[in-house]
A = this chain, B = another copy of it.
């Protein structure tokens, strides 16, 4: 989980230098696209950001953006600059089945946020999006991506179950990483998983009445 998020669609994940490696003297096209994407997502939100406009801002063709990054969701995830792609992480969590998925999901989330390089961009995203009533970046971006990936893993009542999981995750994240609520903020990672994991498991597989 220590490499950068790779692009989907077969473009590979060779660091920040693009699929073929960075040629000496060539401008960092991939980096310019990412920078343009970050600025657009932050300024315009998720929905109003288009691959075409990001390409124009970066001075490249839209096809090159698709080539490097895949879909708009892929571009958004890459622009987060977090150490893992939440979609593949969620797929890995659920691969062994629903049993124990609550604890595995929580362990994965806490591992990313506990690391400064994972936490920094995410806390900035949460703060900027929650602080601005006009911003929908959190709900249309990060939460939607995670929420959709979660739903894909669940059967009946997938929306309600994913929504319930999201409430406990959001609160743990805001309490532990944004607000710094003690004793939750300083609690060892393993204890957080032990205490909160059963809640996620109940939301994933428990009765809903």
Q: Whole-angstrom distance between the alpha carbons of A168 and B193 in the complex?
A: 14
A172 touching B179 by the CB < 8 A rule? no
A181 touching B131 by the CB < 8 A rule? no
Q: Mark A103-135, 1 if CB is under 8 A from B, else 0.
A: 000000000000000000000001110111100
B138 touching A127 by the CB < 8 A rule? no
A166 touching B184 by the CB < 8 A rule? yes
Nearest chain B CB to A185 CB, angstrom units = 9
A202 within 8 A of B: yes
Which of A28-36, A54-62, A156-164 lies on the face that meets chain B?
Answer: A156-164
A167-B166 contact given A143-B179, A159-B183, A195-B160, CB 8 Å threshold? no
* Residues of chain B contacted by A133 (CB below 8 angstroms): 127
A176-B184 contact given A131-B127, A194-B209, A208-B195, CB 8 Å threshold? no
> On chain A, which size bracket covers the interface?
35 or more
Smallest CB-CB separation from A140: which chain B residue?
Answer: B179
Nearest chain B CB to A165 CB, angstrom units = 10
A69 within 8 A of B: no
Smallest CB-CB separation from A178: which chain B residue?
Answer: B130
Q: Whole-angstrom distance between the alpha carbons of A164 and B171 in the complex?
A: 9
Kindly report how many copies of this chain are found in the complex they form together. Answer: 2
B143 touching A181 by the CB < 8 A rule? yes
* Residues of chain B contacted by A168 (CB below 8 angstroms): 167-168, 171, 199
A sample of 19 inter-chain contacts (CB < 8 A) reads A126-B130, A127-B131, A127-B132, A130-B131, A130-B174, A130-B179, A139-B180, A143-B179, A163-B175, A166-B181, A167-B168, A167-B175, A167-B176, A167-B184, A168-B199, A170-B171, A170-B181, A171-B174, A174-B174
Q: A167-B168, A170-B171, A171-B174 are in contact. List 14 more A-B contacts (CB 8 A).
A: A130-B174, A147-B181, A160-B183, A160-B195, A163-B175, A163-B182, A166-B184, A167-B171, A168-B168, A170-B170, A170-B175, A171-B171, A174-B174, A198-B202
